[in-house]
């Protein structure tokens, strides 16, 4: 009985993992678009003020159970990775 309960909960986690991955990929694609627009404008891609605004907005909307400190850690990771991908592309573009 307990084992089935555990299995059901784990299936839920797997499903949520997949949905989170889909959304992070979608987000990465949009950030890549933003990078292209900024490049054409000759604007610096890294925007710490916008990053801080996004974090504040997320913390305001957060209803838990995720604590805001952990929220900040996770999203900083997501923001940074989007930036790293952009930089890699830029570096690759320079090598071509």
33 touches a copy of itself by CB under 8 A = yes
Cα–Cα nearest to 87, from 42, 45, 24, 37: 45
Work out whether 44 is an interface residue with a copy of itself (CB under 8 A). Answer: no
Cα–Cα distance between 75 and 66 in angstroms, integer?
A: 12
Rg (the chain; Cα; Å): 18
3-state secondary structure of 96: coil
Using CB under 8 A as the binding rule, whether residue 52 contacts a copy of itself is answered as no
Selected from 46, 52, 56, 73, the binder of a copy of itself by CB under 8 A is 73
Angle among Cα 88, 90, 93 to the nearest 5 degrees reads 110
Would you count residue 92 as binding a copy of itself (CB under 8 A)?
no
Residues within window 2-21 making contact with a copy of itself, judged by CB under 8 A: 2, 5-6, 9-10, 12-14, 16-21
Among 42, 44, 56, 81, binds a copy of itself (CB under 8 A): 81
* Min CB(46)–a copy of itself separation in Å: 14
């Amino acid at each position: 009985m307990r084992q089935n309960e555990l299995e059901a909960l784990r299936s839920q986690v797997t499903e949520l993992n997949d949905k989170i991955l889909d959304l992070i990929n979608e987000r990465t694609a949009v950030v890549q678009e933003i990078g292209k627009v900024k490049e054409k404008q000759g604007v610096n891609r890294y925007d710490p003020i916008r990053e801080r605004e996004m974090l504040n907005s997320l913390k305001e909307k957060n209803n838990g159970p995720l604590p805001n400190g952990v929220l900040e850690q996770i999203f900083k990771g997501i923001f940074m990775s989007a930036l790293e991908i952009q930089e890699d592309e830029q570096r690759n573009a320079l090598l071509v």
